[in-house]
Amino acid sequence: MSDLQIGLIVLGVLLILLVLGFNWWQDRRVRRKMQSHFPTNEHDPLLGAEQHGGGHGGASEPRAPATKVHKGAQSAEPRREPNFGAGSGSVTGASAAPAPAAPLAATSGSDQDDAEEVDPAIEAVIELTFGSPVRGAELLPHVQSVRNVGRKPVRIFAETEGGRHRARIHSDETYSRLQLAILLANRSGPLTAIEWSQAWARAQDLAERFDASPEGPEQQPVLEHAHKLDDVCAALDTQVGLTLLLGCAQPAAEVLAIARDMGFVHEGPRLAWMSDEGIARFTLSRSDGAPFDAGVGGVEKMNLLLDVPCSPADTRAFGRMVDVGRELASRLRADLVDDQGKPLADGSDVAIDERLQKLFSQLDQAGLRSGSARAQRVFS
């Protein structure tokens, strides 16, 4: 091999290394730029330097133990993502339940910004800036599938060509930017490296299809944030349950009719006892997991469940469930017992409610107001 050939090979290797180094530097610069778009808010406990842990209010009560299942969060005042939209508009309040999953498509948008926004305390954001405006009709077929990465839901936000913030894409609008907001933690655990990589893969795919520039935070800070959020939520995640023993199987249709007559409403396969604000205080489900209207066999056992972080704060949260449970048991000629199969002791509801008040307060202090949209997202 001649000196000229060796020189050309060495020169080619150096050029390849230079290209790789430039790409790495450019990617790092873009990600750091994106991170600067999301400053923390000192008033939000979940974004502060210290995380609020706490004991389980009522978790140790033997008559109705709280079952720790995982994590949680939505804030009293979720905020708009910086530099995304024309104004700071109001957003869903802490006591409001998250709206049902709305379709990404709609016939037309309004002249106002949508209220629902990114929540930096519980979501990591990847933003795509389009080289030229893209019609919603073109985006919809490709973003419909970007609803989850692993076990973490993804919310889609967009900015119109005219600078309007959208919580869903309208087929007849054109958009200049898109945001993928990935939930950092829920009851399946914190966001994982694999889930974060999947989110980036989806973003890169959209970027290639629509000539967009993707920007987002680096992986390590995102995963650290996810683990901190998960730790906070795990310390406060509490559920309290009761059991209805019907003795012998009763027709599901009759059980459903009695429950609905008392005031329960359908919530998926379960029934829910709603608050005045339209948030489920507690739920009623068949022990076999089947829907009440499935028409499959009879019902022998049912469960009442108070999901504390997802229900609105109430001075008689458990006592109210006990009252409803006793009336339902009377109508069904059933026995109301705790998770150990024992009848409820007199005064146990008062003791548990006192403990739950402490938990409601801890959730509030941690930025996870019970029953809020943030709490219902992470405690899911």
State the Cα–Cα distance between residues 325 and 331, nearest whole angstrom: 10
Please give the average per-residue pLDDT across 77-103, as a whole number.
36
**Of 75 and 296, the one with more pLDDT:** 296
Identify the pLDDT of residue 259: 97
Question: pLDDT-based confidence at 348, cuts 50/70/90?
Answer: very high
Q: Which residues contact 374 (CB under 8 A, 6 or more apart)?
A: 73, 74, 75, 78, 94, 119, 121, 122, 367, 368
**Of 251 and 293, the one with more pLDDT:** 251
Identify the pLDDT of residue 26: 57
**Of 214 and 7, the one with more pLDDT:** 214
Report the mean per-residue pLDDT for the chain.
82
Choice among 48-57, 163-172, 254-263 with the minimum mean pLDDT: 48-57
State the Cα–Cα distance between residues 93 and 109, nearest whole angstrom: 22
CA distance readout (Å), 79 to 164, 184, 300, 344 = 16, 16, 46, 43
Q: Is pLDDT of 53 > 60?
A: no
CA distance readout (Å), 121 to 21, 101, 206, 319, 359 = 33, 20, 25, 33, 20
Q: Is pLDDT of 284 > 70?
A: yes
Please give the average per-residue pLDDT across 80-99, as a whole number.
35
Share of the chain above pLDDT 70, in %: 77
Question: pLDDT-based confidence at 227, cuts 50/70/90?
Answer: very high
Q: How far is CA 323 from the centre of its chain?
A: 30
Domain annotation for the chain: domains and CATH numbers? 75-234 (3.30.1400), 237-378 (3.30.1400.10)
Q: Is pLDDT of 185 > 80?
A: yes
Identify the pLDDT of residue 197: 97
Identify the pLDDT of residue 84: 34
Q: Is pLDDT of 301 > 70?
A: yes
Q: Is pLDDT of 68 > 70?
A: no
Identify the pLDDT of residue 98: 47
Q: Is pLDDT of 83 > 60?
A: no
DSSP string, 259-310: HHHHT-EEETTEEEEE-TTS-EEEEEEETT---GGG--SEEEEEEEEEEGGG
| Three-state secondary structure call for residue 107 | coil
| Three-state secondary structure call for residue 8 | helix
Identify the pLDDT of residue 73: 35
State the Cα–Cα distance between residues 284 and 298, nearest whole angstrom: 16
Q: Is pLDDT of 44 > 90?
A: no
Torsion of CA 359, 361, 363, 366, to 10 degrees: -130
> If you average pLDDT over each of 25-29, 64-68, 141-145, which comes out highest?
141-145
Residues 99-134 have pLDDT tens digits of 444 445 555 667 899 999 999 999 999 999 999 999
Torsion of CA 53, 54, 60, 65, to 10 degrees: -60
Please give the average per-residue pLDDT across 349-371, as a whole number.
97
Q: pTM of the entire structure?
A: 0.74
Q: What percent of the residues of the chain are helix, what percent strand, and what percent coil, each to the nearest 5?
A: 35, 25, 40
Q: Please say whether the dihedral angle defined by the alpha carbons of residues 121, 93, 100 and 361, taken in this order, is positive or negative.
A: positive
Identify the pLDDT of residue 28: 58
State the Cα–Cα distance between residues 208 and 352, nearest whole angstrom: 55
Identify the pLDDT of residue 24: 63
